Structure 1
Amino acid sequence: MFKRCYALLIIVPLLIMAPKSHAAYAYFGLEPDIVTNYVSNSSRNLGYVRVTVELMLEDASFLEAAEHHAPLLRATTIDIFGRQPEEKVKSLTGREEIRRDCLQKLRQLMKQETGSEMIKDVIFTKYLYQG
């Protein structure tokens, strides 16, 4: 009995003083899906890609700002995909590079526009290509 009380006296204050790891992430989808052409190996054919993009925001309070800047976020994402070569669009490692490029560029834009990077991550939930 004494050991239990002693353990509670030590553990409870530690739990109270521990920093909160509770994250209030929010998700914002760029609607509708991103559909754009990409640079194909042959100049005669254009490929296209269709991607569903979800933005993981650092806090739910950023949802309003993300909605306000959605046209800028969409245009930037479309621009990034439109400049990619076919090999990059079709490979898994290339897809990851594109995702990181989007994350870096969107964070940079939000820092300029709002003073906060606000975007924790960029997630591609659907990724289709043809070309």
Structure 2
Amino acid sequence: MRNISGALFSAGLVISSLIGILHFFAPYGFSWYSYIPNAPDEIYASIDYINFFFSLLLTGLSLILLFFKKKIFEGSSEIFIFYVFLVFTWFCRVLITIVIPWPTPLQKWLIVGFLTEFIITLIPVIYLLRSRKVS
């Protein structure tokens, strides 16, 4: 089970970091601003700021946790807390996608994708708690 948890830990964090990197380019690649034509410049700037820092934090936290994988699996509760927070973030992403559905046919794929990522990242948490690697 340790090998599976380790592999899922790495896979989940790689996926999280890739999503973070993708979001650096999302406003331009998906023409976000075309949905709000003639909006004040402050709206565009605030979207850019929020998206930039979301991307930076998701990518950075994922890469830092990958770097500390060995310490987490050795029982470092301080670093484990950051991983649990990332898993909680994915859980919240699933909830918000259900509560406030995306108004396009993408909704089904978003639920599947976010739920899959949440489960991939949750399994190592369960393993680490059950194996008492983290107190």
Larger fraction in strand: 1
Structure with the greater alpha carbon radius of gyration: 1
Q: TM-score, normalised by structure 2?
A: 0.28
Q: TM-score, normalised by structure 1?
A: 0.28
Larger fraction in helix: 2
